[in-house]
Protein backbone atom coordinates (compact mmCIF):
# COMPACT_ATOMS: atom_id res chain seq x y z
CA UNK A 1 0.00 0.00 0.00
CA UNK A 2 2.82 2.39 0.85
CA UNK A 3 4.61 1.79 -2.47
CA UNK A 4 1.37 2.25 -4.40
CA UNK A 5 0.73 5.57 -2.64
CA UNK A 6 4.24 6.82 -3.32
CA UNK A 7 4.09 5.88 -7.00
CA UNK A 8 0.65 7.37 -7.52
CA UNK A 9 1.61 10.56 -5.69
CA UNK A 10 4.70 10.92 -7.87
CA UNK A 11 2.63 10.38 -11.00
CA UNK A 12 0.02 12.97 -10.04
CA UNK A 13 2.72 15.36 -8.90
CA UNK A 14 4.19 15.21 -12.41
CA UNK A 15 0.70 15.64 -13.92
CA UNK A 16 0.07 18.63 -11.66
CA UNK A 17 3.38 20.27 -12.56
CA UNK A 18 2.73 19.72 -16.28
CA UNK A 19 -0.76 21.26 -15.98
CA UNK A 20 0.57 24.19 -13.97
CA UNK A 21 3.44 24.84 -16.38
CA UNK A 22 1.14 24.49 -19.39
CA UNK A 23 -1.35 26.95 -17.95
CA UNK A 24 1.16 29.78 -18.26
CA UNK A 25 1.18 29.50 -22.05
CA UNK A 26 -2.36 30.95 -21.94
CA UNK A 27 -3.57 34.11 -20.23
CA UNK A 28 -4.50 33.20 -16.67
CA UNK A 29 -6.47 36.38 -16.04
CA UNK A 30 -7.69 39.13 -18.31
CA UNK A 31 -9.78 42.22 -17.83
CA UNK A 32 -13.02 40.20 -17.93
CA UNK A 33 -11.98 37.66 -15.31
CA UNK A 34 -10.43 34.18 -15.49
CA UNK A 35 -8.77 33.36 -18.78
CA UNK A 36 -8.16 30.02 -20.51
CA UNK A 37 -5.14 29.28 -18.33
CA UNK A 38 -6.98 29.74 -15.04
CA UNK A 39 -8.62 26.30 -14.75
CA UNK A 40 -5.46 24.34 -15.66
CA UNK A 41 -3.52 26.45 -13.16
CA UNK A 42 -5.99 25.73 -10.35
CA UNK A 43 -6.25 22.05 -11.27
CA UNK A 44 -2.47 21.63 -11.59
CA UNK A 45 -1.84 23.40 -8.30
CA UNK A 46 -4.45 21.28 -6.54
CA UNK A 47 -3.05 18.04 -8.02
CA UNK A 48 0.47 19.06 -7.05
CA UNK A 49 -0.44 20.06 -3.49
CA UNK A 50 -2.47 16.93 -2.76
CA UNK A 51 0.15 14.67 -4.33
CA UNK A 52 2.90 16.35 -2.37
CA UNK A 53 0.95 15.87 0.86
CA UNK A 54 0.47 12.16 0.14
CA UNK A 55 4.10 11.76 -0.87
CA UNK A 56 5.35 13.44 2.29
CA UNK A 57 3.01 11.44 4.53
CA UNK A 58 4.07 8.13 2.98
CA UNK A 59 7.76 8.86 2.67
CA UNK A 60 8.07 10.18 6.22
CA UNK A 61 6.70 6.87 7.45
CA UNK A 62 3.30 7.96 8.64
CA UNK A 63 1.38 4.84 9.52
CA UNK A 64 -1.60 3.85 7.38
CA UNK A 65 -4.77 3.98 9.45
CA UNK A 66 -7.18 3.09 6.65
CA UNK A 67 -8.34 -0.26 5.45
CA UNK A 68 -6.42 -2.20 2.85
CA UNK A 69 -7.69 -2.02 -0.70
CA UNK A 70 -9.57 -4.98 -2.06
CA UNK A 71 -7.96 -6.74 -5.02
CA UNK A 72 -8.84 -4.97 -8.25
CA UNK A 73 -10.94 -6.70 -10.87
CA UNK A 74 -10.04 -4.17 -13.56
CA UNK A 75 -8.31 -6.87 -15.60
CA UNK A 76 -11.43 -8.98 -15.59
CA UNK A 77 -12.54 -9.51 -19.25
CA UNK A 78 -16.07 -8.27 -18.54
CA UNK A 79 -14.67 -5.02 -17.09
CA UNK A 80 -12.36 -4.54 -20.06
CA UNK A 81 -15.32 -5.10 -22.39
CA UNK A 82 -17.36 -2.51 -20.51
CA UNK A 83 -14.53 0.01 -20.73
CA UNK A 84 -14.22 -0.56 -24.48
CA UNK A 85 -17.97 -0.06 -24.90
CA UNK A 86 -17.75 3.24 -22.98
CA UNK A 87 -14.89 4.31 -25.22
CA UNK A 88 -16.90 3.41 -28.33
CA UNK A 89 -19.88 5.36 -27.01
CA UNK A 90 -17.69 8.42 -26.39
CA UNK A 91 -16.35 8.22 -29.94
CA UNK A 92 -19.91 7.95 -31.28
CA UNK A 93 -20.90 10.88 -29.04
CA UNK A 94 -18.18 12.94 -30.71
CA UNK A 95 -19.28 12.06 -34.24
CA UNK A 96 -23.02 12.52 -33.65
CA UNK A 97 -22.68 15.72 -31.58
CA UNK A 98 -23.09 18.12 -34.52
CA UNK A 99 -25.50 16.03 -36.57
CA UNK A 100 -27.98 15.06 -33.83
CA UNK A 101 -27.28 18.11 -31.72
CA UNK A 102 -25.84 18.41 -28.27
CA UNK A 103 -29.03 17.81 -26.29
CA UNK A 104 -30.27 14.83 -28.26
CA UNK A 105 -26.80 13.25 -28.31
CA UNK A 106 -26.45 13.71 -24.55
CA UNK A 107 -29.92 12.25 -23.98
CA UNK A 108 -29.26 9.14 -26.11
CA UNK A 109 -25.78 8.65 -24.63
CA UNK A 110 -27.08 8.76 -21.06
CA UNK A 111 -30.00 6.44 -21.79
CA UNK A 112 -27.65 3.87 -23.30
CA UNK A 113 -25.13 4.15 -20.45
CA UNK A 114 -27.70 4.05 -17.66
CA UNK A 115 -30.28 1.61 -19.03
CA UNK A 116 -28.16 -0.76 -21.08
CA UNK A 117 -24.68 -0.78 -19.55
CA UNK A 118 -25.54 -0.11 -15.91
CA UNK A 119 -28.90 -1.90 -16.01
CA UNK A 120 -30.85 0.87 -14.29
CA UNK A 121 -34.64 0.96 -14.60
CA UNK A 122 -35.79 2.58 -17.84
CA UNK A 123 -37.93 5.15 -16.03
CA UNK A 124 -34.95 6.29 -13.93
CA UNK A 125 -32.64 6.34 -16.97
CA UNK A 126 -35.09 8.44 -18.98
CA UNK A 127 -35.69 10.90 -16.16
CA UNK A 128 -31.97 11.39 -15.48
CA UNK A 129 -31.30 11.79 -19.21
CA UNK A 130 -34.06 14.37 -19.68
CA UNK A 131 -33.00 16.27 -16.55
CA UNK A 132 -29.36 16.29 -17.71
CA UNK A 133 -30.27 17.55 -21.18
CA UNK A 134 -32.52 20.29 -19.79
CA UNK A 135 -29.95 21.31 -17.19
CA UNK A 136 -27.24 21.41 -19.86
CA UNK A 137 -29.44 23.62 -22.04
CA UNK A 138 -30.30 26.00 -19.18
CA UNK A 139 -26.73 26.32 -17.91
CA UNK A 140 -24.86 26.58 -21.20
CA UNK A 141 -27.33 28.21 -23.59
CA UNK A 142 -29.39 30.42 -21.28
CA UNK A 143 -27.03 31.29 -18.42
CA UNK A 144 -23.60 31.23 -20.08
CA UNK A 145 -24.68 32.16 -23.62
CA UNK A 146 -22.78 29.30 -25.25
CA UNK A 147 -24.19 28.23 -28.59
CA UNK A 148 -24.43 24.46 -28.68
CA UNK A 149 -25.07 22.55 -31.90
CA UNK A 150 -28.81 22.24 -32.43
CA UNK A 151 -28.63 19.40 -34.92
CA UNK A 152 -32.01 17.89 -35.79
CA UNK A 153 -33.75 19.76 -32.97
CA UNK A 154 -32.74 23.13 -34.40
CA UNK A 155 -35.14 22.69 -37.32
CA UNK A 156 -37.96 21.27 -35.20
CA UNK A 157 -37.87 23.45 -32.10
CA UNK A 158 -36.49 26.97 -32.42
CA UNK A 159 -35.02 27.54 -28.99
CA UNK A 160 -31.34 27.99 -29.90
Q: What is the pLDDT of residue 110?
A: 95
Q: What are phi and psi of 33, to 5 degrees?
A: 130, -150
6 and 44 inside one domain? yes
Q: What is the pLDDT of residue 70?
A: 67
Q: Which of 99, 146, 98 lies closest to 160 in space, CA to CA?
A: 146
Q: What is the pLDDT of residue 126?
A: 95
In a domain, 14, yes or no: yes
In a domain, 64, yes or no: no
Distance set, CA 122 to CA 109, 114, 116 (Å): 14, 8, 9
134 and 92 inside one domain? yes
127 and 82 inside one domain? yes
Q: What is the pLDDT of residues 15-34, one digit of tens each?
A: 999 999 999 998 988 888 88
Q: Which of 143, 110, 115 lies closest to 129 in space, CA to CA?
A: 110
In a domain, 67, yes or no: no
125-153 in b/e burial notation, b at 16+ Cβ within 10 A?
Answer: bbebbeebbeebbeeebeeeeeebbbbeb
15 and 85 inside one domain? no
Compute the radius of gyration of the chain from its Cα atoms: 21
Q: What is the pTM of this model?
A: 0.58
43 and 81 inside one domain? no
Average of per-residue pLDDT values in the chain = 85
DSSP calls for 12-56 = HHHHHHHHHHHHTTS-SEETTEE-TTHHHHHHHHHHHHHHHHHHH
Question: Quick check: 155 pLDDT over 80?
Answer: no
Domains of the chain: total? 2
Q: Could you count the other beta carbons within 10 Å of the beta carbon of residue 31?
A: 5
Q: What is the pLDDT of residues 50-106, one digit of tens each?
A: 999 988 988 887 565 565 656 666 667 777 888 888 899 999 999 999 888 889 999
In a domain, 9, yes or no: yes
Q: What is the pLDDT of residue 145?
A: 82
Q: Could you count the other beta carbons within 10 Å of the beta carbon of residue 28?
A: 15
146 and 102 inside one domain? yes
**Domain span holding position 97:** 77-156
Amino acid sequence: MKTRDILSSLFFLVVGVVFTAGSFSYPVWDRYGPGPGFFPLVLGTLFSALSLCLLLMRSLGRRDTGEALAPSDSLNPSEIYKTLVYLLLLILFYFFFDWLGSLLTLFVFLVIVLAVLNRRPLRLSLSISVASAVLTYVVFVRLLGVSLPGGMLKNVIRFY
